[in-house]
Amino acid sequence: MLRVVAVNYGLRGEGVTRISFKGISTFLDADVLLVAPRQLPLHYSAPIALSDGTLYLSLARGARSLRRDMKRRREEVGTLLKNGKLVVVFLSPRVALLAENFEAEDSVVSNYDWLPKELAGITTLMREGVGSSLVLKSPRHPFAPYYEAFSSNLSYEAYFHTTKQDPNEFFLTNKTGNPVAWFRPVRNGYMVFLPPPPDDAAPEKVLGVLRQCARTTLGGGVRTPEPAWTREFELGGESQLLAEIKAVRKELNKRVRETERLDRKRRSLADYRQLLYEQGKPLEAVVIRALGLLGFEAEPFQKGDMEHDVVLQSPEGRAVAEVEGRDGAAIAIGKLDQLGRVVDEDFKEHNVYSHGLLIGNPYRLTPPDERGEPFTEKVQLAAKRKDFALLTTVELFGAVQRVLEHPEDKGLKEACRRAILETKGEHVRFPGSQR
């Protein structure tokens, strides 16, 4: 009977050993290693979620434990594959973690860093995405029975972003052709990524179908792990090959870290697109960031019962702003009335009347060129009477684009700030605006 070691997954049955990724029990007893990495980061000192979804480990002991466990498990998985075993992963989104007290080059760890180094590249293809429409590309694949067993309610929570069409390697896709399962021989064994089974799937059914697929994959052959003492019996050329492997892995590690760094920068830029479609607190956060790019000191204000979405200051002046996004309608008078109260509260707090700014993202789920009038007629009339400025997040996004294209142009940033602070009763129009 094939021995199954289940990591972070509650599989039950004869011949199954359940262990924790963080525990002392070894992976090496497995013929089939089953890993569910979804909750893996949460075992380490309650990481804090950053705004871009990255998890941050602030406790040094948790950070050291994470790095140590990753290295230990990576070696064990490598040993299993070297000895012809099967590693099954229930595919979940890749989660990046930042940790204090790591060296700079090791500051980022993911819930997939236990994979052998030659598989590091596959993690760069992972994307978060949920769906349930699946297409089996290879009906005779060793893991086709897994799909057939759960196809009526099988769903995925991550996929691989790749144009490869090899039906043996990427044997299960979503409707757009992006693979949600991946299979490849590695060393002398096999790795397979699968969508997790349905939550209500009977454990005995999951175990049975996995064993069936494993027997087909392994062909009935189960190799014995190489005893440690055999390493004393070195073969000619082996040391040189090990040195070359080490050098390649080091370079690969460097490339993976650089890819992750560049991807974080790209995602940080891409977040500005939230100006076009977000609402609520996420919209307020990206508005504050965009105003900061223009050179404002911008932040929310809260004191007791007093709460202002944004207070912005610069050498050119000061303003308070209210921010709203709406699904299928223009920004209504209620938000402008709220801005009026905020301006009065701000005066009581600071003894100065600040400029009022209403920032709106109306029709937020409609392409910008197809949207209607952003502010209702009542809002426009009241804004004229109170000398408040009206600004759409689409207009603000355009300013962000131009500033990013000309980051050293201080005059452009100043002109944008003046456009906000000097517009009274009208729509704000930034330099270079085509709207």
Domain 277-422 has CATH 3.40.1350.10: yes
3-state secondary structure of 247: helix
Average pLDDT over residues 182-187: 92
Which residue from 188, 162, 221 is spatially nearest to 80, judged by alpha carbons?
Answer: 188
pLDDT at 222 over 50: no
The CATH architecture assigned to 4-269 reads 3-Layer(aba) Sandwich (3.40)
pLDDT confidence of residue 140: 87
Q: Check if the beta carbon of residue 201 is closer than 8 Å to that of residue 150.
A: yes
Q: Is 194 exposed, middle or buried (0-12, 13-18, 19+ CB in 10 A)?
A: buried
What residues contact residue 358 under an 8 Å CB cut-off, 6+ apart?
A: 321, 322, 324, 331, 335, 336, 339, 375, 379, 383, 388, 389, 390, 391
pLDDT tens string 52-83: 555 555 444 456 677 788 889 999 999 999 99
Give the rounded percent of residues in the chain with a pLDDT score beyond 90.
Answer: 54
Average the pLDDT over 208-226 and give the result. Answer: 76
Quote the pLDDT of residue 60: 46
Cα(330)–Cα(240) distance, integer angstroms: 69
Residue 183 has pLDDT above 50, yes or no: yes
Contact predicate 176/159, CB 8 Å: no
pLDDT in tens, 339-394: 999 999 989 888 888 999 999 999 999 999 999 999 999 999 999 999 999 999 99
Given a cut of 80, whether residue 47 has pLDDT beyond it is no
Sequence-distant (6+) residues with CB within 8 A of 185 are none
Topology agreement, domain 4-269 and domain 277-422: no
Q: What does the pLDDT read at residue 30?
A: 93
Q: Tell me the domain boundaries of the chain.
A: 4-269, 277-422
Closest CA to 423 of 394, 388, 395: 388
User: Model confidence over 155-180: pLDDT tens digits?
Assistant: 999 999 887 778 888 999 998 889 99
pTM across the whole model:
0.53
